[in-house]
Amino acid sequence: MGPGSGRALTAIVETGHAKINLALHVRAREADGYHAIETIFAFARDGDELRVAPADELTFEIVGPYAAALEGEDSDTNLVMRAARALQAAFAVEAGAAIRLDKRLPVASGIGGGSADAGAALRALCRLWALPVEDARLGEIAAGLGADVPACLVSRTAWADGRGDRLTMMDGEGLAGMPLLLVNPGIACPTGPVFRGWDGKDRGGLGDGDPLAAALAGRNDLEPPARALVPEVAEALALLARQPGVMLARMSGSGATCFALFESEVARDAAVAAARPEWWRLNTVLI
């Protein structure tokens, strides 16, 4: 009997944790158009929800408030299905799975929605098919799916360089439970145009010590081009920065989602009411 030929008794649920770039330094534009970056990844408690259940074949269903944004994707382009098929092939899995994605995070928003979903799919399917999560092939699959997927697979605080796919785990104990607010003005901010708008100036490296201290001393080099493309990013950042109790306010990834870390849940909850009611908001904590 091959790997994955057995059946789990119940469905398995994993969270596609929202990814936060506490800082993001762009160091160089490479000849192939990609960029060398340094970043600190952290993850929110909440995100998309991915459910897998035993089945003879792979099936995929998307529900939730942002399901419509993925209607144009097929099984060859959706990262969840690509992850599932790659895992099947790498481990010679005979079983299938019924996969259901509850899409709660906005797309093209700088918080790793698709990458987080792929990471959650790999974790959930490893449990469903009784595969070894420590196997090096899992990391290879993640890296082949996208630069952020290796970080989203582990969903732990990490320092990263290269294209964001070379990870060094950091001690995130001081961040765990820190109140976090995410806001998005509801305008997609595609990664490609934002990176192309970077001015090409290397403003220096990112520290790799205490993650919060390194983040506070850092920056997001993609904020200026994102603000040029989506002016509402500047409004969201200014709103977050002036709230009482804010420790750090910054844009995540290539935008347009902005976040703030707060000294207390009371301060975070008060800031929710200050944001525009039509903006997407996620009131959560770091894990």
List, by residue number, the catalytic residues: 19, 148
Q: CA-to-CA distance for 10 and 127, rounded, in angstroms?
A: 11
Instruction: Select from 250, 254, 253, 260 the least CA-distant residue to 281.
Output: 260
Give the count of alpha carbons within 13 A of 15, CB side only.
12
Give the count of alpha carbons within 13 A of 253, CB side only.
30
Strand partners, 169: 158
Query: Is the CB of residue 204 less than 8 Å from the CB of residue 217?
Result: no
Q: CA-to-CA distance for 6 and 3, rounded, in angstroms?
A: 8
Backbone phi, psi, residue 280, to 5°? -75, 135
Residue 29 makes CB contacts below 8 A (sequence gap 6+) with 35, 36, 198, 200
Sign of the CA dihedral with 133 first, then 139, 141, and 146 last: positive
Strand partners, 37: 26
